[in-house]
Amino acid sequence: MYAYVAQYGNRGVAETSIPILSIDELLAERDARMREQKEEEERLKQKAEEREEDYRKRLDAFVLTEQIEREIIAKIKRTFDHSESELILSSFRSSFCSDGG
């Protein structure tokens, strides 16, 4: 909705249109923005859940092979040789633990 306003200046009268705000329009625009934001949040949440499920499947499908065992032993020896006291062999989300972490 627009209103026509007459402006007086050095060159005479000029008509311009300016938007008129209505409560209904403002509320509808706000509601539309809120819906879009909520839909985007839902899409992001769904993507995160899909990534987590994919990660969980890969973790469940993991098989400890002889090659991996050799690599782990080599890492342990290397850590010991460098007088290090900590070594992370694997990590995953605590929520994947059977006791919930």
Rounded distance between C-alpha atoms, residue 52 and residue 67, angstroms: 27
Give the range of the structural domain holding residue 46, as residue numbers without chain letter: 22-89
Within a domain: 4: no
Note whether residue 99 is domain-resident.
Answer: no
**Tally of domains in the chain:** 1
In a domain, 13, yes or no: no
Per-residue pLDDT reduced to its tens digit, 41-91: 999 999 999 999 998 898 889 899 999 999 999 999 999 999 999 999 888
pTM over 0.85: no
pLDDT tens, residue by residue, 29-39: 999 999 999 99
